[in-house]
Structure 1
Amino acid sequence: MNRSGQQVLRMLALVPYLQGNEGVPVAEVAREFGVTPAQIRADLRLLMFTGVGEYAGELIDVDLGALDADDVVYIRDAEFMQRPLRLTPAEGIALIVALRTLRDSATGAQLAIVDSALAKLESAVGGEVEAPVGVHLDEDDESIRATIVDATAAGRRLRLEYVGAARDERTVREVDPRRVFVEQGRRYLEAWCLRARDLRFFRFDRVVSAQATGESVEDRAVAPRALGDGLFTVGDDAASAVLDLDPAAHWLIEYYPVDELAAPEPGDGRRRVRLFASDLDWIRRLVLRNAGTVHVVEPSSLREDVALWARSALAAYDDDDPITQE
């Protein structure tokens, strides 16, 4: 879901939450919704243009004096949002799927809240659902996940050891977490990277270690950004290679930036792609790691390089002298 859609859903939840928590500090609201205080302030200013009409008393009113002077939130004229929410079966199932996805990224007290909401939804929708709804997410380390989620909720800086997708390099960097979300079956952390001095996205399954530093995150005014903006960007200087993928290697299409080309032999199960990366050395390592299922079509220099490395590796097993083998 894009940023605009997420903001709409958050604002729909904000109103009843604020109605039941008058005078709540902005920082507490931000922690509750997993965003920055600056984002909550932006949401509140947008809420002031929302209502059942266009005149005073018909629009939601936010006490800007209390917001600016005391950093607390009071809202008025939002009683129209107290009507009971009625869901269609399809809407209920969609919420169940969303909550089960959220549950896989929750820890501690959050689990109890999600489980309680799930139980109520499943009870209400259960008669309309013929089969259980399952959600599959890529595996990642449970302890790392808990550290990231807890630090994000508490507004604490993280030190990550991370393996990048473009260069396959392991780096250590400190980040200020902003939110945790799921995209296409994978968990991501959106954070301000102190090393890059910019917003970045970190895939959970590429995080080798995570540690909270104890420092509070800095509240930065960062323009909204889509997921793809924080990942490897295919620019004019990007390296590329044409590869034939056996069925066992089709997962690469979803995992790395590629352009899919016409199949070499229709019906044989292979798929031809142009794969992009920061350099050809990284592509060579990728092909060797998936030997037998990924085949280099072009450039010829890469195909020859892969063959040379493969022969060198096989030669190491041809030495019959166990003393000299390493």
Structure 2
Amino acid sequence: MNDDTGAATRQAASGAKDQVARLLTLVPYLHAREAVRLDEAADALGVAPQQLLKDLKVLLMCGLPGGYPDDLIDVDLDALEPGGDGVIRVSNADYLARPLRLTPTEASAVIVALRALRNGAGADTRTVVDRALAKLEAAAAEAGAARIDPGLGGADVDTAILARRLQEAAEAHRQVRLTYFVPARDEESARVVDPRGVVTGQGYSYLDAFCHSADAPRLFRLDRISAAEVLDSPVSTEPEPPRDLSEGLFAGSSETTVTTLLLAPAARWVVDYYPVERVRPTGEGPHADWEVDLVVADERWLTRLLLRLAPHAQVVVPHEFTDTFLAEATRTLGLYEHLT
């Protein structure tokens, strides 16, 4: 293909894309009016009258599936020819006013297409797509349709919708009741929070909020929130902007402790599963131990982690964490002694 042919092909593709966009605007415009002059419509739509006439000739080939004359939109082209009154009249398009009804297959196709569109869209477009997805999936569920497999992007869509709701609650200064999974205790808990905003750090989205159960500010990972109810009650704490996570989840916090663990090869999975500050091999080769620095906000969480890792991990610093772990390990072993 030479340069001239390639340029012509690209120009034709661009022209077809522009025409589809014009038709999508033209159809609802004409449907809202029984009759409108060609020059008036062209001026309102921002196109030349000659171009609008070409678009109307394409509109003649659009309509319901089947392609029979009664299925297609009818445009009175005679009125637009020289000698006519120049008024656009569209008929056989009453179905445009009826609510759109999709079969399960059609709904699946639209949902998949919207999710694909969302992956490459900007923030403003994602907001519109998220609303459309939420309505479409809710309607499909009410109709008894099988839940559509969300694929790789389904969880992202659900998280985006949740993030929007929580951010709106924060901006409205309204409390939220959360059902939240706590990995450290392997359980779900219900709590009321005063939301401050949704933030992102280390690849995850979090709700920064004041938790009334803990009586302190907390970060809640959105993918661990199974339910969120925006309440009518206003927040009872002083509204504050959400924290900046650009330097880490616990940067500058006085409630955290940097802890160094010595991990044997069997315990190295900790590095992949939990956020760590630094990793230092203590020797060469695949069997060397690793010293790992991680930020600990709850000593009880660290104790439970060490019990899972025993005997493949130990605390290097601070030493008081070692004492706590040994006391808990002794107590746990004592429970087993009573069973024998």
TM-score using structure 1 length: 0.41
TM-score using structure 2 length: 0.40
Q: Which has the larger radius of gyration?
A: 2
Q: Which has the higher contact order (CA 8 A, sep 6+)?
A: 1
